[in-house]
Structure formats: structure tokens, C-alpha cells
Amino acid sequence: MPLPISTNCQARLFGLAASLGEIRSEALRHNNLDKAGLIALGRDIIDLGVDCEAVVLNQCSAMASEALLAIATAHQEPEGDKEANEKRMGYLTPALIGMLQCIMDNYHLTVDYSDEGPYTDWPTGDYGWLQWLEPNRKAIR
């Protein structure tokens, strides 16, 4: 059974997407790179472990590192013109969206694990078949 995504984790992921939208709007429409917003975005990525499953986040650590690098790169650059801001957003946006996509995909691929071993009995009552897999094992059906 896929791991359920908690309401708090969904809220955090939505908040990341909303923050990216605000930063993009400021950078591309108003030529203002919101450095405080970039810092908050980086902090929010690091704080994902508070509400999201570690086994899922571990699958996306490379993408999270790429997103943090994009944030750091944009933050360290001096204020520039609109073309420079477009270039920064062109690096940051796919990195963050890729990380969010990875997290959502892995919530649907990662399964619960039971220390009790595989379920070997026939289902009874209203229960269907149960299948226990090792974490992150992908099966093709």
C-alpha cells in the first residue's frame, strides 16, 4: 500500500510552490529578486522532514540539493537586470518543480513495511489481498 501523504506535508509542498510563484513574479514582472523570499524558500525545503516521510525525502535528496544550490546561486548573485533574473529563475524553477514532482511520485511508489513479515493468510471479511514489499521496491504488474 502506498504511503499516504499527510495534510501537513501537502501544505508544506503547496507552500513551496506558492513561494516559488511569488519569487518568480517579483523577479520577472517587477525586476526585483526577493532575497528574503529565497532564504525562506531554502529554509522551507530543509524543514520538509518535519511533516513529510523521511523514506520518501531520501529518494529526492539529489533534487533537493539541486534546488538548494539554485537558491544559493540566485541569492549570491548581485542585483542584475531583467535578463539576469530570467536566467536565475530558469535555473531555480525546474530544480524546485523537479523536487516537488519527485516527492509526489515517490509517495505513490513507496510502500509501508511491516516487521511482521509477508501476509500469507487468505483474506477474510471485507478485507482484500494485502501485499508487503520492502521499502521503495518497484514492481511491474
The string of pLDDT tens digits covering residues 78-109 is 777 788 888 889 999 999 999 999 999 888 77
pTM over 0.85: no
Contact (CB, 8 A) for 38 and 16: no
- Look at residues 32, 45, 55, 138 and name the one whose alpha carbon lies nearest to residue 96: 45
Q: Which of residues 79 and 44 earns the better pLDDT score?
A: 44
CB neighbours of residue 32 within 10 Å? 14
The rounded distance, in Å, linking the Cα atoms of 141 and 125 is 26
3-12 pLDDT, tens digit per residue, is 788 899 999 9
Domain residue spans of the chain: 7-109
